[in-house]
């Protein structure tokens, strides 16, 4: 049979490939897995009980509305309005089967073959993969410069032309962990609005910020729905990874087109998952706060460990779930360095090269699933690798 070349030409997902680099340890020590950001703690016990209760309800086996259940859309609109200020109505909310589906569906609404979308590098690899599968040209803007991992708005203007349909931001960022300042996000919004294109902001990790300041003020802007498309995920905040439930918040006209896409993809996000998300929003504020503090402490422990004067690896950025690190092996590919760390030093991470061009000097450490007490051991193994 023939395979669509747009799919065949895209690299395979990198996580499985990275797992193949692990070898049985010759040092009788455990592997430290910094490959995928999935904290090992389970959902709250009361949430698990609620999911069991939902499974026994006759209505749970039915579809919800294509854009999600009315109760969940209302609750999420209220949550976003409280957190960001401004006006967010239930009619602005669509519930998706995870944030990856939210991005995929949003891009199908916004752009098609021959169009282009601006994507900061390093990027979340699934964003880049999906654009290329749709024959949408990713136009890359480098975000790593002068010790910063925040893209500069002035570097984006020159990339916009008549075929540009969107600027994509991911903040807090995957892979760098960087949290973009509100004024930077606002400037990107102003650029997008001035050119009549969308600003798509993936805020999967929004709850894992280091302070309670608002991430941005975009929802307070009159007519924000003509420009802004916000993506969110319940997975990280409530340990609902396998339940696949996320959201898109956008203008009503956009959601009318999105509804067509979602109907063809999955009809609606899983009913039971939507119920779990609704319960989480209503009942788990204290549980979430406890986990967020634990994640902050892990990030702080990582930064403290990287202050070791014997360490030649440089911490570029560390924040929500991720750290981006410059390795000291000039001229070596990031993949070779990552393979050596996995095979010889029982430290599994991803090479910067899978996150875009000019990233061969970098590694991504997904530290969220590692206890804070292990951060010094991570640095010990990195120092160990410097002696080879």
Query: 49: which residues sit within 8 A by CB, 6+ positions away?
Result: none
Which domain-ending residue is among 284, 311, 345? 284
274 & 361 share domain: no
Q: How far apart are CA 73 and CA 309, in angstroms?
A: 50
CA distances from 345 to 15, 32, 301, 339, 384 (A): 18, 9, 21, 10, 8
Enter the DSSP assignment of 97.
Answer: S
Residues in contact with 371: Cβ distance below 8 Å, sequence separation at least 6, in sequence order: 298
**Contact yes or no for 252/73 (Cβ under 8 A):** no
For residues 59 and 55, give the distance between their C-alpha atoms in angstroms, rounded to a whole number.
9
* DSSP reduced 3-state for 124: coil
Alpha helices in 116-181 (DSSP H): 125-133, 154-157
- Report yes or no: 93 and 73 within 8 Å, Cβ to Cβ: yes
CA angle 257, 141, 353 (to 5 degrees): 100
* Residues 249 and 310 grouped into a single domain: no
Describe the crossing of helices 99-110 and 252-265 by its angle, rounded to 10 degrees: 110
User: What CATH number has the domain bearing residue 350?
Assistant: 3.90.1150.10
CATH number at residue 186: 3.40.640.10
Residues 248, 124 within the same domain: yes
**Residue after which a domain boundary falls, among 284, 312, 343:** 284
Which is nearest to 251 in space by CA: 100, 384, 87, 101?
A: 87
Q: Is the pLDDT of residue 147 over 80?
A: no
Element (H, E) at 119: strand 116-121
| Mean pLDDT of the region 170-183 | 94
Q: What is the pLDDT of residues 341-388, one digit of tens each?
A: 998 899 999 999 999 999 999 999 999 889 899 999 999 999 999 987
| SS3 label, residue 315 | strand
Model's pTM, two decimal places?
0.93
How many domains does the structure of the chain reveal? Answer: 2
- CA end-to-end span of the chain: 47
Range of the domain at 80: 45-284
Q: Rounded to the nearest 10 degrees, how much is the dihedral formed by the CA atoms of 12, 16, 21, 22?
A: 180
Residue-wise pLDDT for 21-63, tens only, equals 877 766 668 889 998 878 888 999 999 999 999 999 999 999 9
pLDDT for position 145: 82
- Whether 103 and 144 map to the same domain: the answer is yes
Same domain, 197 and 310: no
Same domain, 146 and 264: yes
Beta-sheet pairing, 32-33 with 93-96: unpaired
91 and 124 fall within a common domain? yes
pLDDT digits (tens, 9 = 90+) for 297-314: 999 999 999 999 999 999
**Residue where the block lists tokens 């959201």:** 247
Domain boundary among 284, 309, 332: 284
* 25-34, 114-123, 189-198: least confidently modelled range: 25-34
3-state secondary structure 323-358: EEEECCCCCCCHHHHHHHHHHHHCEECEEHHHHCCC
Give the whole-number percent of the chain exceeding pLDDT 70.
99
Residue 249 and residue 351 in one domain? no
β-bridge mates for residue 202, sequence order = 170, 231
**Long-range contacts of residues 56-64, Cβ cutoff 8 Å, at least 24 apart:** 59/271, 60/271, 60/272, 60/275, 61/271, 62/271, 63/267, 63/268, 63/271, 64/95, 64/268, 64/269, 64/271, 64/274
């Amino acid at each position: 049979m023939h395979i669509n070349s747009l799919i065949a030409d895209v690299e395979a997902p990198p996580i499985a490939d990275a797992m193949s680099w692990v070898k049985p340890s010759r040092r009788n020590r455990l592997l430290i897995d910094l490959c995928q950001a999935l904290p090992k703690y389970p959902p709250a016990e009361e949430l698990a009980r609620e999911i069991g209760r939902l499974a026994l309800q006759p209505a749970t086996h039915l579809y919800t509305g294509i854009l999600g259940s009315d109760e969940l859309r209302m609750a999420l609109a209220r949550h976003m309005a409280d957190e960001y200020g401004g006006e967010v109505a239930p009619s602005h909310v669509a519930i998706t089967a995870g944030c990856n589906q939210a991005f995929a569906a949003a891009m199908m609404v916004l752009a098609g073959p021959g169009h282009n979308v601006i994507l900061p590098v390093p990027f979340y690899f699934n964003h880049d993969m999906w654009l290329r599968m749709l024959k949408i040209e990713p136009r890359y803007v480098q975000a790593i410069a002068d010790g910063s991992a925040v893209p500069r708005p002035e570097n984006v203007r020159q990339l916009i032309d008549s075929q540009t349909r969107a600027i994509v931001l991911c903040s807090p960022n995957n892979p760098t962990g960087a949290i973009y300042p509100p004024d930077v996000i606002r400037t990107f919004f102003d650029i997008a609005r001035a050119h009549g294109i969308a600003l798509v902001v993936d805020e999967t990790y929004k709850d894992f910020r280091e302070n309670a300041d608002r991430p941005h003020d975009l929802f307070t802007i009159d007519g924000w729905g003509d420009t802004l498309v916000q993506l969110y995920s319940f997975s990280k905040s409530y340990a609902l990874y396998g339940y696949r439930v996320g959201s898109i918040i956008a203008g009503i006209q956009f959601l009318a087109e999105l509804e067509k896409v979602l109907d063809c993809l999955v009809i609606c996000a899983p009913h039971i998952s939507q119920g779990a998300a609704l319960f989480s929003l209503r009942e788990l504020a204290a549980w979430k706060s406890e986990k967020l503090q634990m994640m902050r402490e892990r990030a702080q422990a990582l930064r403290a460990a990287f202050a070791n004067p014997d360490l030649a690896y440089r911490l570029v950025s560390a924040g929500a779930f991720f750290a981006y690190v410059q390795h000291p092996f000039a001229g070596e590919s990031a993949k070779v360095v990552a393979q050596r760390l996995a095979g010889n030093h029982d430290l599994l991470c991803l090479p910067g090269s899978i996150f875009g061009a000019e990233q061969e000097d970098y590694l991504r450490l997904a530290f969220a699933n590692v206890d804070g007490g292990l951060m010094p051991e991570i640095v010990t193994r990195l120092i160990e690798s410097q002696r080879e």
